[in-house]
Chain A
C-alpha cells in the first residue's frame, strides 16, 4: 500500500494567509471591480431632510436626459413586502414597515425616495440632479431622551410615540437571574453608586463602500446578486421575501468584501432595488455607494444612554447590579437592531459575582440613520458600563481598582460551565490569570509611584492607568436559545469536505469571511486533521451556489461555529476512510491508527494513505458492499452554547492638563480565546479590534445639528484614526480551552472592540481623579477633557 511522509502540523502555527496573494497584487475581486455586458447604473434620490412629507416626485426631467433608461418613484417600483426585520424582541415591539423606497415621508437624511437608471455611472449622477421632489419639511427629533418627551415629533405616526419597545431580564429572559436587585438597593448597610454614561453614535466606515451588481440570467429566469455583504445566505432569503422572486432563482455572491464590522450584516434598500430593477428591466444593474452616501445610508452603531447602579459591602464585595438603557434605533428597525442591546443584556455584571441582577432597555426612534450591529454589538456597551462603574465603586470605597476586581472575580474553580448571576452559563474562563499576566507585563506598582510623583511635582503631563477585565458571549449562537430570544433564524453553520480523485481537498463553508482569514485557518484545521498539505486544501465561501447552506459571518462565529462544523465533517471523512482502509488492508477498523494521513495496522508497517483511499473511493472498484463511492462529508453544527472569551486590558495615558490632549503611552491586551489555531490571525483581530475601541473612546462621534443634518458626514469631519493617532499594542494571552467543542476554540473577532473603550476612559479619568474628575464623556476629545478639568477645578 502507498505510504506518504506524515505531514507537518500547521494548527497553532503562524501560517501565512491564503487570501493575500491576490490582495497584495491588486487582483482582489470587490463588487466595484465586477462589470457585466449591458450593465446599467443605478442612482438613488435621497432625502436632504431628516423628516419631510413627500408631496410629489417628478422624474420627467431626468428621463429626458440622453442615456437615462428609466426613473421610478416609490409608487412605480413596487415591492411585495418591506425589508425584513429578524428580531422582534417580544410581543410589544413596534415594527414600522421599512420599504426600500420611502412612500409617504422621509425619516432621515439619506432615506431613499426615488431611483434613476442610466447607461453610465456619470450619467446616473447627472440624472439624480434632475429629479424634483416636493418636500414638506416636518419637525425633527435626533435625541432619544427628547424623542420620549411629551409633544416630541413622532417618527412613525401610526404608533403615536417614539418608544419602539422595551425588554428586560425580569420579564423576557428565558433564564432567571439570581434575584431581584431592589432589596439590595434598599439596604442601608450597603454602599451604592449610580453612574450615567452616554455612548456616542458611531459610523462603521468599512473602507470599501457598499455595492451591488445584479445580473439576470434571461434564459434561466435566474438572478446573480453580487453584494458587498457579510451575509449572502441571509440576504438571499430576505430578498426573496421583499422582492417576491423565488429563493431557488436567486444566487447571492459575496466576492471579496472590503471590511464589514457589522455594517454589512444587513439587507439594504439598494440590494432589493437592484434586484427589482434587474427583474423589471431585464438588464444587469450596478450600484456603488459613494462615501458621502455611506455616512447617511449605511447603518450606524452604539448610540445609547446608560444608567448602571452597583450595591456593595463596605469592604468591596459586589452584591447587586442593575442597569437601564435607552438605545437609539434611528428611523427604522433594521435586520437585528432591536436585539442589539440584548446581546449585552446578561453581561452588565461583567466577570464578577453578585447576588442579584436586573437589566432593562428601551429602543427609541429618531430622525437619524438606523443603527444596528457594530463590531461587538451590545457587548462593548455592557463592558463599558460595568468596567467604568467598577472604577467608580473603587473610588467610592477608596480601594485600588485592581484590588476591587480581584476581590469580585468569578473564581477559576467554578468552571467549566458556571451559571453566572445574570442566568447564562459560561463555558470556561480565566479572569484572575489574565489580569495577573497583564499586571506582570505592566509593572503596576512602578506606574502608580510615577503617577504619585508627577502629581506631587504638580507639573507636566498627568499619568493615568485604566483597566478593563472583560467577558463576552460570542460564537452566535445556539438555535434554541435564539428561538427563546424571539430571533427569527438559527445559529448553526455548515461545512463540506470533498477529496478530489487526485488527492487535493475542497472545503466549502457556510460562513462568509471578509478579512478575518477564515480560508487560511480552515485549511489549517483540515490539513492537520486529514493529514494533507496545507497548500492542497482549497476553501470556498461566499457564494450560495457553491455553499447553499450557511448563516454567514458576524458575532465572532467563524471558527467557533463554522470551524467546529468543519472539524466535525473531518471526523466523518476519517470514519469513512477508516472503513475503506480496513477493507483494503483486510483488518478490523479498531486495529488501525490514523496519524499524519496514514492508516496503519497497529504493530505492523502495513499502511494506507488517505489520498490513495480517496482515489479508491472515486474509482469505486473495490468498496465494501454498503459504501457509497467518493470521499466527502457534509455537516451542520449547532453550537450547544455561546463561546465566552475573556481578558484583561490596560491602557496607560498621559494627559496634558493645559490642553486636554490624551496620549496613549502603553496599551496591553491579555486575551483568552481558548485554543488558538493561528496566533498571527488572533493577534491581528485583537490589534484591529483595539484600534476601533480606542477610536470610540478618543476620536469618533457622529454629530447632528438640530435639523437632523449629519455634521460629521465625510472622512474629513468624522475622525477615523490614522497611523500616527494609534499606539503600538502589547499583545499577550492565556489559553483556557472551551469545553463546548472538540477543538477548544472560542471567538476573538470582537474582543478588542469590547475591551478597549473602558480601559481608555478609565485611564483618562484616573489621570484626573485627584482633581475630582469622575467622568469624561466619550469620545474624550481634548476639549471634553479640558472642560472636565476646568469644571472639577471650579
Chain B
C-alpha cells in the first residue's frame, strides 16, 4: 500500500491505496464521490472524466498514485456556494441529458474545453468532446449547452 495526498474539490485528503488502484476507484470507493461514473475498460467513453490541476483527464486512465500531490475536481466540486456551474445549468436548460450516466464526465470535459477555447465553433465543440460518448441524446443538445455557456447564439 502507498500513502498519497491529494486535494479533491478543495479538500486535502490522505489515502492508502494499492499501487494498482485506479484514480476512479479511489474517488468512488474510498472518498464516496460516486458522481464520477465508469462506462468502459478502455478509456473510450469518458464517463469518468475529472479535472487534474484544471485539465480534463479520464480517471480510469490514471493510477491513484499518479494523482499524488495534485488537485482533482469532480462533478461534486463544480458547483460553488450552492450555485450550479453555468455548464450544469446549461445542460438542464438545453435538455443535454437523458439517462444522465455520461453527464458528469461530459460536463467536466465541456468545462475544460471552454477553458482552452472560450469561443469554440460547433465543429471545435464536437471535436473537443470526441472522447466522451453519449448513447441517449445524439449530441445536438450537448453542443447547444456548450454554445450557450460560451455565449454563442444557440439555435432554437
Contacts and interface: CB of A to CB of B under 8 A. Distances in A.
* A complexed with B: yes
B97 A16 contact: no
B101 A715 contact: no
Contact of A207 (B88, B102, B130): B102
Given A28-B103, A121-B29, 19 more contacts: A19-B100, A24-B75, A24-B107, A25-B88, A30-B34, A122-B18, A205-B135, A209-B39, A258-B99, A291-B39, A517-B98, A687-B138, A688-B137, A690-B138, A691-B139, A715-B40, A722-B132, A723-B143, A726-B140
A688 B99 CA distance: 11
A26 B39 contact: no
B147 to A, nearest CB: 11
Interface string A684-726: 1001111110000000000000000000001110001011101
Contacts, number: 177
B137 A17 contact: no
21 contacts: A16-B93, A23-B97, A24-B84, A24-B97, A25-B84, A32-B37, A33-B28, A208-B37, A256-B99, A258-B37, A259-B135, A260-B99, A290-B41, A517-B98, A681-B95, A683-B95, A715-B42, A715-B133, A716-B44, A722-B139, A723-B127
Nearest to B91: A24
Interface string B100-137: 11111001000000000000001101110111111111
Nearest to B93: A16
Interface string B27-43: 01100011111111110
Interface in A11-40: 16-17, 19-28, 30, 32-33
Nearest to A680: B95
B56 interface: no
Contacts of A722: 126, 129-133, 139
A257 B98 CA distance: 10
Nearest to B138: A691
Contacts of A724: 123, 126-127, 130
The 6 closest A-B pairs by CB, nearest first: A26-B35, A258-B101, A691-B138, A23-B100, A515-B99, A715-B44
Interface of B: 18, 20, 25, 28-29, 33-42, 44-45, 47, 74-76, 78-79, 84, 88, 91-93, 95, 97-104, 107, 122-123, 125-127, 129-143
Contact of B140 (A27, A716, A729): A729
Contacts of A680: 95
B100 A258 contact: yes
B95 A25 contact: no
Interface of chain A, main secondary structure: loop
Contact of B33 (A16, A23, A26, A684): A26
A514 interface: yes
Interface string A31-62: 01100000000000000000000000000000
Interface of chain B, main secondary structure: loop
A691 B137 contact: yes
A19 B20 CA distance: 36
A639 B73 CA distance: 49
Interface string A333-376: 00000000000000000000000000000000000000000000
Contacts of A517: 98
A669 to B, nearest CB: 11
B136 A259 contact: yes
Contacts of A258: 37, 99-102
Nearest to A228: B101
A516 interface: yes
By size class, the interface of chain A is 35 or more
Given A24-B91, A691-B137, A292 B41 contact: yes
A258 B101 CA distance: 5
A231 B9 CA distance: 37
A790 to B, nearest CB: 31
Contacts of A257: 99
Given A17-B92, A715-B45, A207 B39 contact: yes
Contact of B35 (A16, A27, A122, A716): A27
Contacts of A221: none
A155 B122 CA distance: 50
Interface in A111-167: 121-122
A771 interface: no
Contact of A726 (B101, B136, B139): B139
From B37, B47, B138, residue with most partner A Cβ within 10 Å: B138
A261 interface: yes
A122 B134 CA distance: 28
Contacts of A681: 95
B44 A256 contact: no
Interface string A273-306: 0000000000000000011100000000000000
B143 A208 contact: no
A206 interface: yes
A728 B92 contact: no
B101 A259 contact: yes
From B75, B95, B97, residue with most partner A Cβ within 10 Å: B95
